[in-house]
Amino acid sequence: MANQRLRILYASSEINPFLQTSKVADFVRKLPQGMQERGMEIRILVPRFGLINERKNRLHEVVRLSGINIPIGNEEKPLVIKVASIPNAKMQVYFIDNEDYFHRKSVFYDQDNNFYPDNGDRAVFFCKGVLETVKKLGWAPDIVHCHDWMTALIPLYMKTTYKNDPIFKNAKTIFSVYDSFFDHKFGEDLLEKAKMMDIDETLLSPLKSVDFSGFIKVAANYADKVVQLEDLDEAGMKKIMEDLENDKKVQTIESGDDLIDSHLELYNELAG
C-alpha cells in the first residue's frame, strides 16, 4: 500500500533537545523526524516547563495563537503559545505555556522531591490547550499521536467536546504508554477540572482513582489505538496493561530499525 501524505500531530510531555527526563523525549524526537522524512506533515506540541531555557533555545511567543482562556474548574487560565525550531531538523515545536503551571524550575516534583499537588490540573490545561491551539492553527490532523500520561485526556476530548469540530472530526487517535508509573495521588477535584462540554462524570469514571492508572485507562477507553514499545518492565505498568489485555486496541511495536515504518503502517491503517 502506498503511503498517504498524512498530517500527524504529536503531543508529549517532553522532547529532545529542549527537555529530557525519560525515554519519551528521545522517542518523540525521533518519530516525527522519521515521518517528515517520509513526506508526512507534522506538528509537535509540548508543555513549556520552567527547566526549558527560553533564551538558549530561542523560544518566542506566537501572539496570534496566544490569548485563549482555558477553563480549569471554576477558573480560567490564560494560554500562551511559544515556538522554537529543532536545530538541524527543520522541525518546529509549539510550547503550551501558563505562568501558574509551567514557570517553576522543575517538572513534576519540587526541590524536596514532593509531587506537585496541581500536576493533574497541569495535565488538564495541557490537553485542552493542545486542542485549542490546533484549532487556532486551522490545521486538521489525520492522526493525533499522544505520548504518556500527561496527554491522556486528548482522545476523550476529541471523541466528545470536539467530535463535530471540522478540525478534528476525521482524526484518529493513538496513545503510547511508557514505563513511567508513579503512585502519587492527584487532587480530589480532578474530575471537576477535567470536565468539558458533553462530558459528565460517567465518562471520566476511571479518573475517580485520582492516580496514574486513571489517566491511562481514560486514554485507553477513547483512543483508537494504544501502543506499547515491546514489553513494559515496571510493575505498576504491567498491572495496568494486564487490565487492558483483552482490549483489541492495544498493539505492541518492537523497537528496532523498522520502528518508524511500523508506526507509519499503523498511521496509514487508521487513516484508511
**What value does the mean pLDDT take over residues 22-41?**
94
pTM of the full structure: 0.96
Shortest CA distance to 178 belongs to which of 233, 215, 220?
Answer: 233
User: Would you list the DSSP string of 149-193?
Assistant: GGGTTHHHHHHTTTTT-TTTTT-EEEEEE-S-----B--TTHHHH
User: How are beta strands 143-147 and 172-177 bridged, if at all?
Assistant: parallel
The rounded percent of the chain whose pLDDT value lies above 90 is: 82
Shortest CA distance to 211 belongs to which of 180, 185, 192, 243?
Answer: 185
Give the largest Cα separation in the chain, rounded. 53
Q: pLDDT tens, 201-226?
A: 899 999 999 999 999 999 999 999 99
Architecture in CATH of 7-271: 3-Layer(aba) Sandwich (3.40)
Q: Is the pLDDT of residue 3 over 70?
A: no
C-alpha cell read off for 93: 515545536
Query: What's the Cα-to-Cα distance from 194 to each of 27, 59, 227, rounded to whole Å?
Result: 27, 29, 24
Whether residue 121 contacts residue 102, with contact meaning beta carbons closer than 8 Å, is answered with: no
Provide the pLDDT for residue 1.
45
User: Residue 2: which pLDDT band, with cuts at 50, 70 and 90?
Assistant: low
Q: pLDDT tens, 117-165?
A: 999 999 999 999 999 999 999 999 999 999 999 999 999 999 999 999 9
**What value does the mean pLDDT take over residues 44-50?**
97
Q: Is the pLDDT of residue 186 over 70?
A: yes
Surface-to-core class of residue 5, CB atoms within 10 Å of its CB (0-12 exposed, 13-18 middle, 19+ buried): exposed
In the numeric block, the cell 486514554 is attached to: 219
